Structure 1
Amino acid sequence: METYWLSILGVLALCLQSVALAVYSGSSKGFAGKLSGPVVPADDDNPLYRIDRVHMNSVEALAPFVVPVLLAMIAGVGPVTLAVLVWVHLAIRLVHMVIYLRGGKAAKGGNVRTILYVSGALVTLILILVTGWAALR
């Protein structure tokens, strides 16, 4: 596993992002006097809604990415290939988070935020294909 240290650190950073966003989401709702749970109405102009959604987006993207990373290590995907995929995904997720939290036009669905989300999903798909290929060899 020593050869996968860069990938492991990247996965831990993704997990840390999700935990930090959970704390941020919960504390933001508390300071605003709101209950935990989904923010209603769903309005991208509402900062509490954006904080909640960016947290949920990070949770939704985490498992489908982390499981193939672990399988990639077991299947013997090259450490450099895996590290590149992990860190590209992490960079996309971080930029997605910043854009969404900042709000404005770029954070609206169908704009930069959507491009970033789809880009992260494509990196996940590439990871799944690379891992499947390695498992078949």
Structure 2
Amino acid sequence: MAAELNIYSIYKLRNEDKYYLLRTERPGFSNASQMEEDLAEAAEEEQRNRMLEQVSPAGFDFIGELQNAPIGDALYTENGKANLEIYYMETEFGHPWIVLGNAPSEEAFLAELNDDEDLLRLKPVGKPVKIRVAYLTENDFNLNT
């Protein structure tokens, strides 16, 4: 059985310098069923698309995503935060895979990253990029319509 999974995705508003970090949830599914896995992935993608549509009809550029636990307590709250600084790094696995987190400084981000075996397995490369995001979770939206 594959457990529920929080997915963190960074988007940039097209033609503007505004970034959004979305946290969505992929439902759990039976590992024995490809159909259940496909349905779970489609449900998460639909949730993410509906959130983006409510943010802006202008369109977005997809920066990357993390399908793992990020760094920083601020990214585990029930609701998002309008203004949050995060760091992200690309990985050896290429686009769209990144590691990300919230930390008071680049040094603190790198120190926490170096203590996190799960994130290190993603093989982060390059220098961390610092951006200010609107952090949004599924709880910040009315997705029942």
**TM interval, short-chain normalised:** under 0.3
Structure whose residues are more often helix by fraction: 1
The structure whose Rg is larger is 1
The TM-score, its normalising length taken from structure 1, stands at 0.27
Structure whose residues are more often strand by fraction: 2
The TM-score, its normalising length taken from structure 2, stands at 0.26
